[in-house]
């Protein structure tokens, strides 16, 4: 089973790449981010200089990587991709920075997970286009300054709050990406269906969009699962009935909540009486890391009005109780 899942994942990743919009004009939704970014890029192109560093923040699957690729395409500049967890030492970052070519776009995904000493090196590189490489140890250690070609850093983070202020402040443009409106997801789905060569009926598009947790990556993934279902179990038509049946099979509920979302809500309601309960306690109850719950489940549950973050902990809303078909206790903490 794992092998099958791994193969499906590899296939999904390849398809995901094929579905990425390549230019800003093809990027659907997020009108504010698109307009702001377009100005930043055109301003820089006009001046013939590398644009300011860009920070993209928001939940997974909203298009941060896609935007980084678009930035490089719009600038006609090469793109280098790395991520916070890959940079364990300052030296790892120095190796990347010192080999950038002029104007190159450096995409640093999960930038909040970079090692501390590398972070400090990055501040200097972003501001002065220089890195200080420390050679030797103890009192004999010397810092050798190296020039870095002017580059544009595109940082992405699912947790903007985790970035130290000095790093955040060095980005000239910070884009906060929010969940997509169902109408935008519908457009994304029809675009993807066209690229995949399948006919998506309008009401099926609506149904999938409504249940995609405001997230293009999820919309595209559900589209592929509905397509599988349509091809194997139905006559290949992607209509509403097929969409519903497929989504039921994949345990996506009416509001688009998936297994993890429901596990978190279920634990919050059934084990903690609706809260308040601390994030780490809640995470242990569902057998996940705190970060997984915080990044993957919570933002959508909050946006769907099912969960609230309070200074005393996580609290379920009345809608959460009715969504899971439960009755809140009389002393529930809303």
Q: Which residue is nearest to ligand ADP (CB)?
A: 63
Q: Which is nearer to ligand ADP, 29 or 256 (CB)?
A: 29
Q: Is position 220 an interface residue for ligand ADP (rule: CB under 6 A)?
A: yes
Exactly one of 37, 40, 53, 65 binds ligand ADP (CB under 6 A); that residue is: 65
Q: Do 94 and 117 form a contact (C-beta atoms < 8 A)?
A: no
Q: Is position 222 an interface residue for ligand ADP (rule: CB under 6 A)?
A: no
CA–CA distance, 330 with 320 (Å, rounded to integer): 15
Residue among 219, 241, 238, 218 nearest 228 (CA): 238
What are the strands of the beta sheet with 173-176, ordered from one edge? Answer: 79-83, 105-109, 152-157, 54-57, 173-176
Q: Is position 19 an interface residue for ligand ADP (rule: CB under 6 A)?
A: yes
Candidates 24-32, 125-133, 263-271, 315-323 — which segment interacts with ligand ADP by CB under 6 A?
Answer: 24-32
Residue among 28, 42, 31, 29 nearest 74 (CA): 42
Q: 52 a known binding residue?
A: no
User: Which residues participate in catalysis according to the annotation?
Assistant: 64-65, 109, 158, 217
Exactly one of 37, 40, 62, 297 binds ligand ADP (CB under 6 A); that residue is: 62
Q: Is position 152 an interface residue for ligand ADP (rule: CB under 6 A)?
A: no
Q: Which secondary structure element, helix H or strand E, spans residue 79, and what is its range?
A: strand 79-83
Q: Do 154 and 108 form a contact (C-beta atoms < 8 A)?
A: yes
Q: Is position 57 an interface residue for ligand ADP (rule: CB under 6 A)?
A: no
Q: Which is nearer to ligand ADP, 224 or 323 (CB)?
A: 224
Candidates 25-33, 73-81, 124-132, 232-240 — which segment interacts with ligand ADP by CB under 6 A?
Answer: 25-33
Task: Tell me the closest approach of the beta carbon of residue 333 to ligand ADP, in angstroms.
Answer: 33
Residue among 127, 132, 98, 97 nearest 114 (CA): 97
CA–CA distance, 8 with 178 (Å, rounded to integer): 28
Task: Tell me the closest approach of the beta carbon of residue 315 to ligand ADP, in angstroms.
Answer: 28
Q: Which residues contact 231 (CB under 8 A, 6 or more apart)?
A: none
Task: Tell me the closest approach of the beta carbon of residue 111 to ligand ADP, in angstroms.
Answer: 12
Cα-based distances in Å from 111 to 56, 107, 181, 203: 10, 9, 27, 39
Q: Is position 61 an interface residue for ligand ADP (rule: CB under 6 A)?
A: yes
Candidates 61-69, 242-250, 281-289, 321-329 — which segment interacts with ligand ADP by CB under 6 A?
Answer: 61-69
Kindly list the residues in this chain that would bind ligand ADP in the complex (CB under 6 A).
16, 19-21, 27-29, 60-66, 188, 216-217, 220
């Amino acid at each position: 089973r794992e092998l099958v899942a791994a193969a499906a994942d590899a296939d999904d990743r390849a398809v995901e790449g094929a579905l990425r919009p390549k230019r800003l004009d093809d990027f659907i939704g997020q009108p504010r981010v698109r307009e702001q970014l377009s100005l930043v890029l055109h301003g820089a192109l006009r001046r013939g200089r590398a644009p300011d560093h860009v920070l993209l923040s928001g939940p997974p699957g909203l298009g941060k990587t896609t935007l980084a690729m678009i930035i490089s395409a719009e600038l006609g500049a090469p793109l280098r991709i790395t991520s916070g967890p890959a940079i364990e030492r300052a030296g790892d970052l120095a190796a990347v920075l010192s080999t950038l070519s002029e104007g190159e776009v450096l995409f640093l995904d999960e930038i909040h997970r970079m090692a501390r000493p590398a972070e400090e090196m990055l501040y200097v590189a972003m501001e002065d286009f220089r890195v200080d490489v420390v050679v030797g140890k103890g009192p004999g250690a010397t810092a050798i300054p190296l020039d870095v070609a002017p580059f544009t850093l595109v940082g992405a983070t699912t947790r903007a709050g985790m970035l130290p202020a000095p790093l955040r402040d060095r980005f000239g443009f910070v884009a906060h990406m929010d969940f997509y409106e169902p109408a935008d997801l519908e457009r994304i789905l029809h675009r993807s269906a066209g690229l995949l060569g399948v006919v998506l009926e309008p009401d099926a598009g609506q149904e999938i969009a409504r249940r995609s947790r405001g997230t293009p990556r999820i919309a595209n993934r559900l589209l592929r699962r509905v397509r599988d279902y349509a091809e194997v179990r139905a006559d290949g038509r992607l209509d509403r009935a097929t969409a519903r049946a497929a989504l039921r099979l994949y345990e996506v509920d009416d509001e688009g909540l998936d297994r993890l979302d429901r596990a978190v809500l279920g634990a919050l309601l059934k084990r903690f009486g609706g809260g308040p309960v601390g994030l780490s306690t809640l995470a242990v109850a569902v057998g996940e890391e705190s970060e997984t719950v915080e990044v993957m489940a919570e933002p959508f549950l909050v946006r769907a009005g099912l969960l609230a973050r309070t200074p005393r902990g996580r609290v379920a809303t009345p809608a959460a109780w009715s969504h899971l078909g439960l009755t809140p206790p009389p002393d529930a903490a809303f």
